[in-house]
Amino acid sequence: MAKQHKWVYAFEEGSAKMRNLLGGKGANLAEMTNIGIPVPPGFTITTEACIAYQDTGDFPEGMWEQTLEYMDDLNKKTGKVFGDDSNPLLVSVRSGARVSMPGMMDTILNLGLTPAGVEVMGKKFGDLRFAWDLYRRLVQMYGKVVLEVPAEPFEEIIAEIRKEEGAATDAGISAEGWKKCAERFKKLVEKHTGEPFPEDPTEQLRLGVEAVFKSWNGKRAVDYRNNFGIPHDWGTGVNVVTMVYGNFADGQSGTGVAFTRNPSTGEKKFYGEYLLNAQGEDVVSGARTPSDVFELEKEIPNAWEDLMAISDKLEAHYHEMQDIEFTIESGKLWMLQTRNGKRTAASIVKIAVDMVKESLITEEEAVARASEDVIDQLLHPRFDTKALAKTDVLAHGLNASPGAAVGKVYFDADTAQAKTNEGEAVILVRPLTEPDDVHGMLAAKGILTQEGGATSHAAVVARQLGKPCVAGCGDINIDLQKRLFTVGSVTVKEGDVISLNGAKGDVYLGQIPVVVPEFEEQTELQAILGWADKIRRLMVWANADTPDQATRARSYGAQGIGLCRTEHMFLGERTQLFQNYILADDKAAKIEALSKMLPEQRDDFFGIFKAMDGLPVIIRLIDPPLHEFLPKREELMVEVALGKERGQDVSDKEKLLAKAEELAEYNPMLGLRGVRLGVMMPDVNQMQVRAIFEAACMAAKEGVHVHTEVMIPLTAHVNELKTLQKLLVDEAKAVMDEQGIEVNYKFGTMIEIPRAAITAGEIAELAEFFSFGTNDLTQMTYGVSRDDAERHFLLQYVEDGILPTNPFQTIDRDGVGVLMERCVNEGRATRPDLEIGICGEHGGDPDSIDFCHLIGLNYVSCSPFRVPIARLAAAHAVMREQGWDRLGDLGALNPKRG
């Protein structure tokens, strides 16, 4: 007889290494159990069972029978009996995916309790209020999660009971009050479903497990996974855990949420909140104001000592800051969860660097835990301090998640998402957020809540999303019906603009200017990137067109300039210089126009060489078609027609129009541009090469170590290089002879056309370096215009799964990537020391950087602001080859540690 598949594991049977099978929560409950930390007995139904359920809509064969067997085992461990009113065993049913998805899936507490069992528990514990509180929670959670009754009517009933009893908070409601509450809940359930509330504990358990499985594909969970790139086929585990009770009214019971370090700042200081006489979600719900966790030392000192010892033990065991949930039952501490704590970008790098100093982790582990998104967030704009000093604070709340956010106020998640899709910057304002609000939080620039604490849903999710959040802002009074909030005499209506300072918890009326943070001041980030530099093989260069951009790029760690676009030097006020050349009627006029352009170019190149002293600078000769330096033909036609109608002199505009019509092409991006323009009109390229080498010689004479590389764009055939490159090399040598000094130089080409990639061996006979222009290479490989494709169909292709990703954001390894790899191999077969890099937008994309590493490029080049991200991504590419898993995740796995 075939061995039955194992779908269920007791905590004693699991471990942290079984995360994929048991989910993160189940694996960590098992791990804590096995290292001697007090965890209530329980078991986990595997993620495999969840996936099987998604495929068929039914429990897989044998799963439910195994679940009942493990329930019998819990009966024996606890000395209680599930479903027995005289000695009831109560359990919770909790979700747990392999990565933390806080609040995205469902939980049910107190399963196994019936009205008859309430009376028994009330007598046994001498607290009937406590027992009825358990039961109403069961009806409420089960009604919402399993029977899909809306949440608001339950809260309205509780508010009615508080009013009837004159209770300020839920903790003041009597036993009779909770009994009435449970009865009204059950009537609500029957009204909504048409059926009485189910009282059979075994059936409740079965439907509860099924509800957790279903919640894996609930909207909020799917939205969350889409945002964080979590695969939809992982599934969730289901954890069935013996209930422990923090809602005794004995002054020695409570529940809490805490972090072993501060998740906002990274400070090595225990951080969290708790409530006495509470259970489950009470701490984060906002219904009651929790106490700072340090107050626990005074109220339940023995439990506090145990909590501190367990905190230290967990950090030492996991080598990571932990987010923990605990319950204290009559002075006894129980751990209900531990996981790697979500935190802000600033705290991620601080905690990693501190843990290296504390010898808890290695430098490599610190690099592994940093993500490209974290670096991006650290370089995000912040409020201008001068403007901030002149602006009055409208309201103040908890600094739940740092950062600066400016946007229009909207009061529900659906509207926030819709307005963001319309292009508006949005601030989501809610009394408090719930898991169903996640799609609005994803869309918003920032989040403001009237209620909730530092461990509330809004705070935890905002920190993970990297969104500024001000929580528990009691200064504001929200009126959802009127779509406004007030602060004293000030009214803020939907659509009004506010600014949030998440680092301070301040709210401001109107828009406050933002500034880019100083990279040099971020010492922890500098440390991690320094460690990344020790690991990576790829060099990281930058795209820069001005000395200022080059200086910034170097300050961010750029090791060279991979693309200096010379055409950008003729935009704005200088456009007229190039127009004079384009409009010149004879050779003399062209020479005069070029003579005025040369010193402008030379000065720019000189500044860039000085900024990049000792580092290579690749300068691309003019690439766009000439018509781009003229006004648009359609605009000129209108201006000429209107001018004539008004009797104005339009001769100059007519000349421009005539030239624009002469240069017009059906498909200019495939027309007279790049190397073709150089072949047909070599004097422009010759002027540019002269400017480059005059600047290089001038800089060298001042002691600057110049490494210049001249790049000819858009080569398709080796004969184009044979025709143009010799002219340009001769010009360069002539300048150096005139200046009486030699400088290091190379001539190479951009690989942007598929034919160039295919014939790379021939092209490398002349070109001393290649640089992939992956934007054009992708356009020509796919046969699309990027702008048109993204506007009309490409994004829909990605959304519908026709394409896995946007090929203009991430290199298409199976198409464009094949051309690139062939180009590398054939080019180096001809010229073994051929320098090859990438200078398209893909140079700053982590997945594309990984591919560039794999095919052996020398460098990637990206915008200056992406340089720190590229440095980290290049290190991750090496580590991925070494067997590291979950890079960029707080749970990154070191193959040496196991």
Q: Is 682 helix (H, G, I), strand (E, B) or coil?
A: helix
CA-based end-to-end distance of the chain: 36
Contact call for residues 733 and 689 (beta carbons, < 8 A) = no
Greatest alpha-carbon pair distance for the chain in Å reads: 108
Tokens for 149?
Answer: 């009754």
Classify residue 866 by its DSSP letter.
G
Give Cα 799 to chain centroid, integer Å: 18
What is the distance between the alpha carbons of residues 274 and 284, in angstroms, rounded to a whole number? 9
- According to DSSP H, which parts of 536-650 are helical? 547-555, 575-583, 587-611, 633-645
What is the distance between the alpha carbons of residues 245 and 327, in angstroms, rounded to a whole number? 7
What is the distance between the alpha carbons of residues 549 and 381, in angstroms, rounded to a whole number? 18
What is the distance between the alpha carbons of residues 862 and 541, in angstroms, rounded to a whole number? 7
Burial 520-537 (b: 16+ CB within 10 A, else e): eebebbbbbbebbbebbe
Give the start-end residues of each E strand in 316-397: 322-329, 332-340, 382-383, 395-396
What is the distance between the alpha carbons of residues 809 and 789, in angstroms, rounded to a whole number? 13
Contact call for residues 358 and 351 (beta carbons, < 8 A) = no
Active-site annotation holds for 457: yes
Active-site annotation holds for 705: no
Catalytic residue among 181, 396, 439, 457: 457
Side-chain half-sphere CA neighbours of 679 within 13 A: 17
CA 678, 682, 687, 693: dihedral to nearest 10 degrees?
70
What is the distance between the alpha carbons of residues 508 and 487, in angstroms, rounded to a whole number? 11
What is the distance between the alpha carbons of residues 347 and 264, in angstroms, rounded to a whole number? 6
Tokens for 201?
Answer: 């504990």
Contact call for residues 696 and 738 (beta carbons, < 8 A) = no
Say how many residues make up the chain: 898
Contact call for residues 112 and 88 (beta carbons, < 8 A) = yes
What is the distance between the alpha carbons of residues 193 and 149, in angstroms, rounded to a whole number? 8
Contact call for residues 836 and 827 (beta carbons, < 8 A) = yes
List residues bridging with 738 in a β-sheet.
none
Catalytic residue among 50, 564, 697, 839: 839
In Å, how far are 158, 180, 406, 431, 588 from 278, measured between CA atoms? 15, 19, 37, 21, 89
- Inter-helix orientation angle 115-125/128-145, to 10°: 140
Classify residue 404 by its DSSP letter.
E
DSSP 418-459: HHHHTT--EEEEESS--GGGHHHHHH-SEEEESS--TTSHHH
Q: Which residues contact 204 (CB under 8 A, 6 or more apart)?
A: 111, 112, 142, 146, 198
Tokens for 755?
Answer: 């034919």
Tokens for 244?
Answer: 């422990």
Name the residues annotated as catalytic: 457, 839
